[in-house]
Structure 1
Amino acid sequence: MPDYYPRIADNELADRLRSIGAVLIDGPKGCGKTETASRLARSVVRLDTDAGARALVGLNPESLFDQEAPVLFDEWQRVPEIWDQVRRHVDDLRQRGLYILTGSATPTDARELHSGAGRIGTLRMRPMSLSESGHSTGEVSLAALMAGEEQRAKRTEVSVPELLERIVIGGWPALLGEDERSAR
């Protein structure tokens, strides 16, 4: 099994970083947010496991921002104050692609945070598609179908039972190499 499966979100994140100061990647736990963000980040601050980094947000936040960009603030919701710090830095520096925030939960006091409009873009990440996991060719585009475009694909090698097994296993990166019984 490969260490990393390329994701559709890889290109979407790169595009957003070229157009805005910071990007929030949100989505369910275990869908690959941190791994995807880590591919583009030059610096990583793990707010879930680094007590020193959490303390610095209140004591000396500038030290967290004095790193090579883009800086990934992983599990940002653990220290919600980082949101306004990121927004302020984007305003002050007036540059793009500075920060990436990842997290699976919204802080309980989120209503007090600035929206981040114009400074922090959002990328919603979901579990892997069959195309991303290598279980489909991706020849048929749902977007094209919805746009009324005719779609044709070669006959698939995946049987109906195999497809049902893939549905049960799902697109969670940690389960891709597991069998159906283990995934359940």
Structure 2
Amino acid sequence: MKSIIRHAEKTIIRIASEYPAVLVTGARQTGKTTLLKKITEQKSVPYLSFDDPAEELSAKNDAKTFTEFHQAPFMFDEIQYVPELFRYLKIEIDKNRNTGMYFLTGSQQFHLMEAATESLSGRIGIVQLYPFSQRELRGDDFSEPFIPTREYLLERNSTFINAKTEFSIQKTWKSIHRGFFPEVALEKVTPNDFYANYLKTYIERDIRKLTQVADELQFMQFISVVASRTSQLVNYSDLADECSISEVTAKKWLSLLVTSGLVYLLKPYAVNVEKRVVKTPKLYFMDTGLAAYLTKWTNPEVMQNGAMAGAFFETYAVSEIIKSFANAGLEPPVYFYRDKDKIEIDLLIEQNGTIFPVEIKKTASPDSNDAKNFFITSRLKNVKIGQCVVLCNTSSIVSLSKNGVNALAVPIEFV
């Protein structure tokens, strides 16, 4: 079984050299513990998991004494179970402030982030870990975030040409259908078995503990409905009606999916634009395999030609771009543009006062019509417009021109 090098590893090592504590957070089963143990074992750092009820009880009963008997450096796994510990970690850090004192993981973000940032402000670096990226799975050591400058595209083009990479649409759709959670991506378990157990564990261990969900079957229906809306504008009324719940409940439940790392809300770009733009975010499932399981797409061939093919391809592209920033320890500077005439650009990436517009198309034969909406960037004021790109299943970079805008069609593998 090949070993997958996680791109976040260098980021975590760097942050641990800068801060007394580092927290690796994210959804369940993304590989947080495996990655952090790999790093800490090289430093002979002791390990303890609060998945063990006895350890959890010990820390909760007397967090001060517990901390005193577990001197830094130390790795604490699943620390969300004992938020009481954070204030005592702060005390220990302030006694003898060194870097790399505590290595923490936590999968439930509902209260974890608040507790960590309040107690350890200025003392902790936080890394969000998502499931594998496609880069990681193919052994691509390129770890820069996706910002499609000319320099970035030239470097990626050179890399793939030199490696004589063969682009495979079938492989891409197989990955989209299977998903990127480590257990599934490494084919240790079938997608159906993994996702069925994953959802059961997620509801029983996270949702039941942290919020009041009166009807778990109804909540499962809600997750499935949200998955069917991936890459669409959030419509709380529609979600509520579909699941026979109130809009207030729909907002609360979607918030749970977002804070647990399963769903990402992409904000509309609203700086220096006219008032015609929409203010509603778009939602994306962060793992296409989980979304495929929930929406009952049985195989990649059917999915590729199905009614949701465009939505899944867009979800895949957006999630890969988000991972490229998160693995580098950066908050993704990503937005979308849509006005009330329904003219939309799928993604706007902001970097140093420059906006890079990105359209996402599942086509393997891009043409100028795929770049037709880029003209709308003229409505973005006081910013520089960078290279416009169309991410798609092309096997090479192709020049496109429409409405006076020059764009490039770019292989999805360049992300």
Out of 97, 102, 107, the position equivalent to 1:99 is 102
| Number of matched pairs | 180
Please say if 1:122 is aligned against 2:122.
no
Cα distance in 2, alignment partners of residues 122 and 53 from structure 1: 24
Cα distance in 2, alignment partners of residues 82 and 147 from structure 1: 44
Cα distance in 1, alignment partners of residues 148 and 68 from structure 2: 43
Residue 45 of structure 1 corresponds to 48
Higher strand share: 2
* 8 Å Cα contact 1:43-1:68 kept in structure 2: no
State the Cα distance separating 1:74 from its structure 2 match. Answer: 0.8
Secondary structure class of the residue paired with 2:24: strand
Q: Deviations over 1:82-122 (max 9, x none)?
A: 22222222111211001111111135486566252211111
Cα distance in 2, alignment partners of residues 37 and 6 from structure 1: 12
State the Cα distance separating 1:177 from its structure 2 match. Answer: 2.9
Residue 77 of structure 1 corresponds to 80
Cα distance in 1, alignment partners of residues 102 and 126 from structure 2: 12
Change (3 A) 1:111 1:98: closer
Cα distance in 2, alignment partners of residues 9 and 103 from structure 1: 16
Change (3 A) 1:96 1:59: same
Aligned pairs for 1:156-167 (under 5 A) are: 156-167=165-176
Q: Which has the higher contact order (CA 8 A, sep 6+)?
A: 1
Residue 87 of structure 1 corresponds to 90
Secondary structure class of the residue paired with 2:98: coil
State the Cα distance separating 1:56 from its structure 2 match. Answer: 2.5
Cα distance in 2, alignment partners of residues 8 and 172 from structure 1: 15
Residue identity opposite 2:81 in structure 1 = R
State the Cα distance separating 1:158 from its structure 2 match. Answer: 4.3
Cα distance in 2, alignment partners of residues 162 and 16 from structure 1: 35
Cα distance in 1, alignment partners of residues 69 and 168 from structure 2: 52
Cα distance in 2, alignment partners of residues 140 and 90 from structure 1: 31
Cα distance in 2, alignment partners of residues 72 and 35 from structure 1: 12
Residue identity opposite 1:78 in structure 2 = Y
State the Cα distance separating 1:64 from its structure 2 match. Answer: 4.6
Please say if 1:19 is aligned against 2:18.
yes
* 8 Å Cα contact 2:5-2:136 kept in structure 1: yes
Residue identity opposite 2:137 in structure 1 = S
Cα distance in 1, alignment partners of residues 172 and 112 from structure 2: 42
State the Cα distance separating 1:9 from its structure 2 match. Answer: 1.1
Residue 146 of structure 1 corresponds to 148
Report which of the two structures shows the higher radius of gyration computed on alpha carbons. Answer: 2
State the Cα distance separating 1:165 from its structure 2 match. Answer: 0.4
Q: Deviations over 1:31-86 (max 9, x none)?
A: 111111111221111001x2232233233644455457541111101111122222
Residue 133 of structure 1 corresponds to 137
State the identity %.
Answer: 25
Cα distance in 1, alignment partners of residues 90 and 29 from structure 2: 26
* 8 Å Cα contact 1:16-1:121 kept in structure 2: yes
* 8 Å Cα contact 2:29-2:182 kept in structure 1: yes
Q: Please, what TM-score do these two structures have when normalized by structure 2?
A: 0.39
